[in-house]
Structure 1
Amino acid sequence: MPDPLDLELARLVSAVGVLAHLSLASSFLGAIGLAVIAEYLWLRRRDEDWLNLAKRFNIIATIFFGVGAAFGTLVEFGLVTIWSNFIAIIGTAIALPFFLELFAFLFEVVFLPLYTFTWGRIKNPWLHWFIGILAAFGGYYSAYNILAVMSSLSIAPPGLQIVNLAAQGKSIAGAITYLATFQNPADAWNIFWWGANVFIFHGILAAVILSWSGVAGVVLYLYLKERKAWQYKLLRLVVPSVAVLTAIEGFVLGHLQGELVLEHDPLKLAALEGMFWSGLKTDPLTGLVAYGNPNAQFWGYYSWPADIRPPDFVYIFYLGFMVGAGILLGILTAGIGLYFLRGEEKCKLTPIVKPLLRPAVAIIPILAALASIGGAVSAETGRYPFILVQTVSGTDGPPMITGVPVGPGGLFNPTLQLSPALAALIILVEVAMPALAGYMVYLAMAKPPKILKRVIEY
């Protein structure tokens, strides 16, 4: 049995690595999306500002893809090493989306360089734009399949069964005592069921919001200093878009995902909402949102045994970071978006918004980062200590929570020994990779004549 310290260090190393990789993936999705949107606007309006922006975001996307792909391989190697039983236990359950993700990755590898190196070299500019669409499709479809896997780890897809081999006196290699398989091979497509798609699009939208909020902060800073036309045009596109996407994320996808948690994982719901009591009690606010009834009753966090409860700090990331920061981000970007769309003279909110422009340079990206981190931690930590979560209604007590345990006999490498010094070194590398990508973007944008003229015809 592994040392408890090894288990906690493994979780920390894995969490930092996944979050760092998600930051790179989010940046790529946001940048390639802005590149094809800007090129489309140039094709429609023949405005050179949009052409230059399309080329810049193409370069930014290429940098984030290159670093992200290399770093993603490193993170995957670490996950397989630390959670070595993972593939053996649930390989059947997650094989299909990983197989499809390979084709999505090929789209990125083939069409992103083609898009980058053919500016001005293809006679039909609409064909070049279509190549960019294919490159973006590869990125977003790759995210779609990876998020399908992550969704299945939170809530088991229909038709999936978890077999306790130990109860049958069996095991795999003497160490693996659980096996996740579909009842019917055709049920493997259920990994893309309706609930998974809610999770998937919620995650993709979060990635775009995070990356575009970072763009909004940087461009707003430049605009307040330089007042250039391209900066104003980009702010009119990005800031209102963040506000609209944040509203969809919270009021539509967030609500649907909350309903799924309510139905399939009541223990996670209790942890997220901070329902720290035992037995059935009313929660007026949650009851009103979930059922339209303030007198609705919910099983409290302490209704389940301590060994299966998620950490009690999850509600801070959910209510404080994801919900709280998300609401503030939506309000702030809505106000600033109206300011740029209407103009300083016509916007009725100008007296309120104008003093907020300078602090918004930092506040917009920070709020987006807090909301994204809160959402990621809420989703990932909510699985602890089970993965591929299933619930069975109880007769006299709370629903039974079942699944594959993360600890000994489950997904963790039983032979792993991870010292604090080694964990600190790994975390340092994980944090350094997004920083390196950001610095490369700065160098590419700060001195484009020397670096980029040989790559793209400006």
Structure 2
Amino acid sequence: MDNLLAARSQMGMSLAFHIIFATIGVSLPLMMTIAEWRWRSTGDPAYLLLAKRWAKGTTILFAVGAVSGTVLSFELGLLWPRFMQYAGAVIGMPFSLEGFAFFTEAIFLGIYLYGWNRVPGWFHLLSGVIVAISGVLSAIFVTLVNGWMNTPTGFDMVAGKFENIHPFVAMLNPAGIPEAVHMVLAAYTAAGFATAGIHGWLLLRRGRNRFDEVAIGIALLVGGVAVLVQGVSGDALARMVAARQPMKLASLEGQFQTETGAPLRIGGIPFPDERETKYAIEIPHGLSLFGFHKYNALIKGLDQEPQSDWPNVRIVHICFQIMVGCGSLLSLFALAGGWLVWTRRPLTEHTRFIKALVLVSPLGFVALEAGWMVTELGRQPWIVYHLMRTKDAVTSMPNVTITFSVMTALYVILGVLVVWLLSRHVIAAPETKQIEHPEVLV
């Protein structure tokens, strides 16, 4: 394994691991705050117990996310020193703002955990809101950097160097806002459905109970609304990609030839050597409508660039199909859940629905991981689109394969520990006295 492949593998593994905890750090504080608000509004002690349980889970995952995020920041400098030297002056602001958001989240999470009956109720609830907002802002600022790597703006290029840098223009690049919205909604979707699935499994295991019922209600509300809005966000992001990164769009759809009224492909396997995507269901003119909202819009194919500048078309296409497929299934599930609620029957009365919920609950994270692979692999071979190639940014440090192996082992150990801690925390059944007498929780 050469340095480039080892560095990309290590960075990809680190991102895939970290994004799970970052996602939950964005979503769980919102659900935790909703639970406390419901307790203060209704007096139902099940909501109080739920808020405290989710707060402890948030703390565990926040700590792991902080560790993995710190590792990523070091990896940027160690594995991609030329990228940081080249672009650091442009992308420094959103990274700095992400740091402020992170520390704000940490401070108010401490207040939330230890402030029960020590600060006024309104301030305690407000601290939860600030934790939730800070988590979202942290995700947005990091995603804005990724957006800049896809659509670099906010500078003049003079003799191969960035001059006259405008940090806010760079931060608010064309891809940044659509990507950030898409990422936040994906986080709410993934964590919402996963949390609902865990409580659904617990409910099937220990029978109907108020604690798991209210947990499923809040988690499905967050995840269900997010996945339905995600369709609008995905449309906006697709149009940006069509306009700014036509080769990425061509890779997503396995579109090898430039074509007017290009079809939208469902499934299929691209064969780059044959310049053809086989076994797909094709919807006539669908890609033109999808990318430009025009029936006969021109879609640039991969034939517009030399094959050496193509990403791995097969992997990008398959990952995109996985992401869209998982999102579509979750959207249908959210609509089915909404219909059941509209019939005014509790969701937990429908055993089949709860069983199905448990089965589909991981799909949000599957879609999230696949989506990031689409974003990152679809930009290749560029680390900064059409400005800097990935191979030109990698470190010259020897033995990157060794660090990749060590970090893989570290993440495996850390992952096992987190699963063990959370399993002990989640599976513990709420005691009756905790529901009836919430003061025992203080």
What TM-score, normalized by structure 1, do the two folds share? 0.83
Aligned counterparts, 1:83-232, within 5 A:
83-122=80-119, 124-157=120-153, 159-162=154-157, 165=160, 179=161, 181=162, 183-193=163-173, 195-225=175-205, 226-232=207-213
**1:385, 1:406 within 8 Å by CA — same for their partners in 2?**
yes
SS at match of 2:410: helix
**1:120, 1:457 within 8 Å by CA — same for their partners in 2?**
no
Query: Within 2, Cα distance between the matches of 1:374 and 1:334?
Result: 23
Q: 2:317 aligned to 306, 315, 329, which one?
A: 315
Query: Within 1, Cα distance between the matches of 2:35 and 2:256?
Result: 49
How large is the RMSD of aligned CA atoms in angstroms? Answer: 2.5
Query: Within 2, Cα distance between the matches of 1:83 and 1:10?
Result: 8
CA-to-partner distance for each residue in 1:162-220, whole Å, 9 max, x for gaps?
Answer: 4564xxxxxxxxxxxxx4x3x53445444124642121111111112111111011011
Q: 2:239 aligned to 256, 259, 269, which one?
A: 259
**1:154, 1:382 within 8 Å by CA — same for their partners in 2?**
no
SS at match of 2:400: coil
CA-to-partner distance for each residue in 1:225-253, whole Å, 9 max, x for gaps?
Answer: 32001222222232243222111112x11
> Given the superposition, is the C-alpha separation of residues 25 and 35 from structure 1 closer, same or farther in structure 2, using an over 3 Å criterion?
same
Query: Within 2, Cα distance between the matches of 1:62 and 1:52?
Result: 16
Q: 1:426: Cα distance to partner?
A: 2.2
What TM-score, normalized by structure 2, do the two folds share? 0.86
> Given the superposition, is the C-alpha separation of residues 82 and 246 from structure 1 closer, same or farther in structure 2, using an over 3 Å criterion?
same
Q: 2:399 aligned to 396, 417, 422, which one?
A: 417
CA-to-partner distance for each residue in 1:50-73, whole Å, 9 max, x for gaps?
Answer: 111111111111111111101211
Q: 1:80 aligned to 73, 77, 97, which one?
A: 77
**1:111, 1:132 within 8 Å by CA — same for their partners in 2?**
yes
> Given the superposition, is the C-alpha separation of residues 39 and 355 from structure 1 closer, same or farther in structure 2, using an over 3 Å criterion?
closer
**1:29, 1:139 within 8 Å by CA — same for their partners in 2?**
yes
Q: 1:356: Cα distance to partner?
A: 4.5
**1:202, 1:253 within 8 Å by CA — same for their partners in 2?**
yes
> Given the superposition, is the C-alpha separation of residues 112 and 164 from structure 1 closer, same or farther in structure 2, using an over 3 Å criterion?
same
Query: Within 2, Cα distance between the matches of 1:434 and 1:69?
Result: 14
Number of equivalences: 410
The answer for unaligned runs of 5 or more in structure 2 is 263-284, 435-439
The equivalent of 1:285 in structure 2 is 286
Q: 1:260: Cα distance to partner?
A: 0.8
Query: Within 2, Cα distance between the matches of 1:70 and 1:7?
Result: 24
**2:188, 2:222 within 8 Å by CA — same for their partners in 1?**
no
SS at match of 1:85: helix
> Given the superposition, is the C-alpha separation of residues 447 and 325 from structure 1 closer, same or farther in structure 2, using an over 3 Å criterion?
closer
Note if 1:339 corresponds to 2:340. yes
> Given the superposition, is the C-alpha separation of residues 160 and 103 from structure 1 closer, same or farther in structure 2, using an over 3 Å criterion?
same
> Given the superposition, is the C-alpha separation of residues 164 and 304 from structure 1 closer, same or farther in structure 2, using an over 3 Å criterion?
farther
SS at match of 2:380: coil
Identity %: 25
Amino acid at match of 1:406: T
**1:36, 1:132 within 8 Å by CA — same for their partners in 2?**
yes
The equivalent of 1:169 in structure 2 is none
Query: Within 2, Cα distance between the matches of 1:446 and 1:199?
Result: 35
The equivalent of 1:383 in structure 2 is 379
**2:248, 2:378 within 8 Å by CA — same for their partners in 1?**
yes
**1:35, 1:54 within 8 Å by CA — same for their partners in 2?**
yes
Query: Within 1, Cα distance between the matches of 2:229 and 2:166?
Result: 33
Q: 2:54 aligned to 53, 57, 62, which one?
A: 57
Structure 1 range deviating more: 57-66 or 128-137? 128-137
Q: 1:337: Cα distance to partner?
A: 4.1
Q: 1:334: Cα distance to partner?
A: 2.3
Amino acid at match of 1:308: D
Q: 2:66 aligned to 66, 69, 79, which one?
A: 69
**1:35, 1:57 within 8 Å by CA — same for their partners in 2?**
yes
The equivalent of 2:277 in structure 1 is none
Structure 1 range deviating more: 193-202 or 107-116? 193-202
Note if 1:404 corresponds to 2:388. yes
The answer for unaligned runs of 5 or more in structure 1 is 166-178, 390-401
CA-to-partner distance for each residue in 1:71-103, whole Å, 9 max, x for gaps?
Answer: 211222223211121210100110111121221
Q: 1:281: Cα distance to partner?
A: 5.1
SS at match of 2:387: strand
